[in-house]
Structure 1
Amino acid sequence: MSYRPYFSALDELKAELENNPLLEVYKSQLQYGPGSEVVKILLSDWEIEAPEEVINFYGEVGKASFEWQLKENAFIDHQKAENLLITGHIELLSLDQSLLGFNPSKGWKDVVWFEDMNEEDLAFYQSIRPFDFFFPDSGKMACFRVANGKITEKLFLFGDEIGLQEMDIGVKEYVELLVQTRGMLSWQEAWLFKGGKNQKQIKHYLPRLFNEVNLEGF
């Protein structure tokens, strides 16, 4: 079997999370993709063009879903903060879910966009396609936009509170950062905005929870 860098990186993360005694792992799922040639056929059927990084990723990875939380009795040096929840969420959707929605007959209606939006907002929100739908309760995701039948090369961070923010990175760098941070909640905001409590939390806890932590860029 040919080397699959995306799948291999996520598979190593899967093993690391499952074998960490400090964590409760509630979800740990990783599926192979169908191969880049099949992805190209699917995209052609849907009349959508995609960057090579997107094609390669979905060729290797069907979907990936991880959820972990620091155990209540974990004996580590805690930050002094109220209602502190140390958790990680990763929800890399399958290609068909990303482009067609959880329910293909509705697409992302009533999840990302709503019928009562004005015409301009509706057209904008209908272009959004989740890639990593890591916190759906507050609409937080890393996403593509599909414009004129083309998936954008760069990803965006989207959420109810922050709106749409360009991350200026593609799938390859996103997955690298995802693995680097183990999907710790709010890593995207810590990386994008720098500073603040999210960055401090990541810098405090990641080295205490995991070995070989690289926080370059944070």
Structure 2
Amino acid sequence: MPDPPPTGPHRTPTGSVAPGYFDRLYLDQADPWDYATSPYEAAKYAATLVALPRVRYRRAVELGCSIGVLTRHLASRADALLGVDVSDAALDQGRQRCAGLGHVTFERRTLPAETPGGPFDLAVLSEVGYYLSRPDLDALADRLAAAVVPGGHLLLVHWTGPTDYPQTADDVHARFLADARWQRLDGHRAPDYRLDVVARL
């Protein structure tokens, strides 16, 4: 079981966790959630890769890529991969971790306002949706529906433990599973996280 995420984040006017919260975390500790060393995270990454319906994607985006640990795994499954995060400190680590992978790029963006426009045939939303308020999550859903091509995939994976964030894992996944623009392909619930894959109709 992972350590509980840090608590007490500041909120934006729309109710989402404020970007500055993440930079403070990464400046205080390079890997605040032990992404690079946790057996739990390693097992979750393996399950994430297994859940991808295709062996390879043309153009993928990872929203909330953090320090690039999952990004490096996803790089083997995409011809082009964009990792985005709100924290410059995290992105610096991601660039170092994926150095030499010419098809992987990183950009600082704030969700949902700066969600990349695509087109993508894969979007990964891992451990980031619950930081958004419901209005911002709705806006992200609209932007992803526009960015992912018909037949493309969205993979959602989030920790199910307690937090004081605006949403829970179940809130985030239920929002997309109830959206008529997506069709659920697969999913499972592990002891500490849930994973769902949906296809753009």
Provide TM-score, normalisation by structure 2: 0.30
Higher relative contact order (CA 8 A, sep 6+): 2
Larger Rg: 1
What TM-score, normalized by structure 1, do the two folds share? 0.28
